[in-house]
Structure formats: structure tokens, C-alpha cells
Structure 1
Amino acid sequence: MQEKKNDLLEDAKEEFAGMAKGGMQHPATKPVLKGAAVGAAAGFLLPGLSVAIGAVAGAGFMFYDRIRK
């Protein structure tokens, strides 16, 4: 019995391409944007963390969470 290989980069590539083609209708777009907003808010509130870094970190976390489910 052959198991499906879990390849993080392939999954990320497929998900990102789907998000690019599907726009706001893709099921991953809204959670990733919400993660970016939460990260940006955290970057605004926490000292030593910029809004841009917070937004990228939040979006990255939600994107990773989405492709691992």
C-alpha cells in the first residue's frame, strides 16, 4: 500500500496558485487575510514588532495552518 507523500512545498504551491486564480472565492483567502489583519494589529500593539512584520507573520501562520489541514 502506497501512502501519499506529504510535500509541504507542493501543497503550498498548489494552494497559492488556487488563491491567485480564485481570488476571494477561494476558501483559503479569507482566513489568510484575517491572519494578516490580526498579525498587523499585534504588530501595532507590541513594542519591537512592526505592522508589516506582524501582517506577514499572521498571514504566514494561517497559510501554513491551511495547507497542513
Structure 2
Amino acid sequence: MARQHPEEPTLVELTIEEVKAMGKQGMSHPSTRPVLTGGAVGAVAGILLPVVSWPVGLLAGAAIALYTRVKR
């Protein structure tokens, strides 16, 4: 496993900063709409799939969308 340099932020730190920025800037932040869209798609998938409920789908969809935004 490769070690990160101390000055490189971790994925968790990047995600926290992104969520804080989304909270401060609201809909004007570039990540807000994709994360909300991911949550909506996940909720619909949760409604259609008998194994997953819509709240779980909503959280999973939003988390996946946020992860893809932060990972770039």
C-alpha cells in the first residue's frame, strides 16, 4: 500500500471540505446539483428494487455522486 505524503489531504478530508463548501454555497456550488441528482436516482432505484428502501437508495446515490465529484 502506497503511503501518502503528509501534505496531501485524504479522501475523507476532501469529502468533508466539499460538503462544507456545498453547505455554504448552496445551489451555486458545482457539486450540489450532481449530488442531488444522484440522490434522486438512488431513491428511484430504491423504490423499484424490493431489496433496497428509498432512503437507503437516496443515501447511496448521493454518496456515489459525491465520491465521483471528490475523486476527480
Q: Which residue of 2 aligns with 1:12?
A: 15
1:36-55 to 2 correspondences below 5 Å: 36-55=39-58
TM-score (norm 2): 0.87
TM-score (norm 1): 0.90
Q: Percent identity?
A: 46
How many pairs were matched up?
67
Counterparts of 2:12 and 2:47, CA distance in 1: 31
The one-letter code matched in structure 2 to 1:61 is I
Instruction: Write the deviation string for residues 6-57 of structure 1: whole angstroms up to 9, x where unpaired.
Output: 5111101110110000000000000000000000000000111100000000
2:57 paired with 1:57:
no
2:72 paired with 1:66:
no
Structure 1 gaps of 5+ residues are none
The one-letter code matched in structure 2 to 1:47 is P
Structure 2 gaps of 5+ residues are none
Where do 4+ consecutive residues of structure 1 move more than 4 Å? none
